[in-house]
Structure formats: structure tokens, C-alpha cells
A = this chain, B = another copy of it.
Amino acid sequence: MQRPFVHPPIETVTLEGILYALADPVRLEIIRRIGAGTCAMNCSAAAPEKMAKSTQSHHFQILREAGLIRSERRGVEVINQLRCDEIGQKFPGLIPAILKAADERDACRST
């Protein structure tokens, strides 16, 4: 089928959806990678290597439905970017706080 990507308008994005999406370690990692990069990232680059593609695709779909990312086909690949401005407007400081917590966790781990 492969219908075009659906992105919920920011008004319908819910806190539950965001937390649910970010509660999965894989998806949190994807968001961290996408969020850290300056430009949009394709799915394979953002997801863990050894995971089944179908599972990757599933995770991206959940991130899209949660309103966290915007996906767009660019040639043979699909590029993704964080909808940080929109989300930041609706839930100020939420995403940064979570990403900061993830960074702090990593910093603690490596010491």
C-alpha cells in the first residue's frame, strides 16, 4: 500500500503519546540521534544496526504518530527530523529535559 506519511497536527499531540513513544529505549535513542544532528536523518542511520527493518519501521511509525518526528521521502530513503519547535511550543522544556537526562545518564555511565 505505502500511503504517504501522516503527521498529526500539533494540537492533537498528547503528552501520553510522547511519553509512551520515548519510554522505549530504542525510540529514545532514535530521537537522541535525530535531535543531535543538524540535518534530517534517514531511518537506518537513526536506528540500531542489528534490528529487523520491520521493527525499525514500526518504531518510526510510533514516533510519527506521537508527533515527535516528521518524515519525508527523499529519493530512495526517508528522512526524519524532530518537530522540536512545535513540541516546544506546546510542552516547553519537556523534550530538552528528557534528552538532558539521557545525556547525564551516559555521562555518569562512562565515568
Task: Answer yes or no: A14 CB below 8 A from chain B CBs.
Answer: yes
Assuming A91-B101, A94-B101, is B16 touching A23 (CB within 8 A)?
Answer: yes
Task: Answer yes or no: A20 CB below 8 A from chain B CBs.
Answer: yes
Most chain B CB within 10 A, of A16, A28, A97, is at A97
List chain B residues, Cβ under 8 A from A22: 19, 23
Q: Quick check: B19 and A98 within 8 Å, CB to CB?
A: yes
Task: Answer yes or no: A104 CB below 8 A from chain B CBs.
Answer: yes
List chain B residues, Cβ under 8 A from A101: 15, 91, 94
Contact with B along A6-22 (1 / 0, CB 8 A): 00000000111001101
Task: Answer yes or no: A75 CB below 8 A from chain B CBs.
Answer: no
